[in-house]
Amino acid sequence: MKSQTLIFRLALAGYSRIAAGIPLTKLLDTPQRLLRDAVSGRPWQFRPQDNVVRIDAAKLELRETELRRELARFSKWTSRLGYAPGTAGNLSVRLDKERILATPTGCSKYLLRPSDMVITDLDGHLLSGTRNVTSEIGMHLTIYRNRPDVEAVVHAHPPIATAFASCGLALDTPLCAELVMALGSIPLAPYATPGTEELGASIEPLLPDHDAILLANHGAVTFGKDLQDAMMKMETTEHFAQVCLATCEIGSPRPLENTAVDQLKQAREKYLKNCQ
């Protein structure tokens, strides 16, 4: 093989892989093979797999990188809002049909880095990561199994909403239009010990009709089409809890009438369609 031809083929092989976003450690696979063929005197033959741009693999790797960054960013957001004191709370996203990317156990959400995230299968077993899986991964998996439309889950401990949950009170009184438009209502799941299978079972009956749920004597969980959507629902949950508390302190709360609630539910359907 002429040296000029070899150099050109080496450059082409490397460039095509760089363009595909293949990791640096994999860039030299084809160039190394070409060099071995040239030294051994074997005639060079084109193999389609050598220069096929593996778009799916590249996209998946890029998606994982982006989701790791988002998990770190929204974890910090959760901590700054005071929703995740100490090591409380956990967040997750669907990585693909068979894997979940989640925050690890026992870590401050403010200090988490993208590299700290762990990957699990749909049974909660650790597939990748240097830290351990959160003990509450089962609750996340229950949501993903029952709601194929859900791509992200946020579990946190917003103080006022958690206070309502600790008093055995759901946030289901239609006091303001915003809540009905954004979430409909926020039910209360019965108490279940954190980190057990019972926690997932406690919320399962509520999943089809709700995107935010209070966990009795525990906290709250929200879920949506992405991390931002799930996080905004957590903010809305805490905001409504503050409104409910204020109305109780002021006295004489006036819930919306059934006709107004029905109209808001219809408006919510249109709103959700426009958000897609």
The per-residue pLDDT for range 181-233, each reduced to its tens digit, is 889 899 999 999 999 999 999 999 999 999 999 999 999 999 999 999 999 99
Q: Which residue has better confidence, 152 or 184?
A: 152
pLDDT at residue 58 in the model: 74
Q: Give the whole-number percent of the chain exceeding pLDDT 90.
A: 68
Q: Give the whole-number percent of the chain exceeding pLDDT 70.
A: 79
pLDDT, average across residues 141-164: 98
Ranges 77-81, 229-233, 266-270: which has the least confidence: 266-270
pLDDT at residue 26 in the model: 42
Question: What length does the chain have?
Answer: 276
pLDDT at residue 13 in the model: 47
User: Which CATH number applies to 69-275: 3.40.225.10, 3.60.15.10, 3.60.21.10, 2.60.40.3080?
Assistant: 3.40.225.10
pLDDT, average across residues 73-93: 97
- Determine how β-strand 212-215 pairs with β-strand 188-189: parallel
Q: Sort 219 into a burial class: Cβ within 10 Å, 0-12 / 13-18 / 19+.
A: buried
pLDDT in tens, 23-61: 444 444 555 555 566 556 665 555 555 544 456 677 788
Q: How many CB atoms lie within 10 A of CB 78?
A: 27
Check if 136 is active-site. yes
pLDDT at residue 32 in the model: 57
pLDDT, average across residues 81-93: 97
pTM to 2 decimals?
A: 0.79
Whole-number mean pLDDT of the chain?
A: 86
Q: How far apart are CA 151 and CA 206, in angstroms?
A: 18
Go through 171-206 and write b for each residue having 16 or more CB atoms within 10 A of its CB, e for each that does not.
bebbbbeebbebbbbbbbbebbebeeeebbebbeeb
Q: Sort 152 into a burial class: Cβ within 10 Å, 0-12 / 13-18 / 19+.
A: buried
Catalytic pick among 64, 66, 70, 136: 136
Q: How far apart are CA 120 and CA 95, in angstroms?
A: 9
pLDDT at residue 272 in the model: 73
pLDDT at residue 276 in the model: 67
* Amino acid code (one letter) for 122: L
Q: Which residue has better confidence, 50 or 144?
A: 144
Q: How far apart are CA 181 and CA 220, in angstroms?
A: 19
Going from the C-alpha of 253 to that of each of 151, 186, 241, the distances in angstroms are: 36, 18, 14
Q: How far apart are CA 24 and CA 51, in angstroms?
A: 16
10 pLDDT higher than 50: no
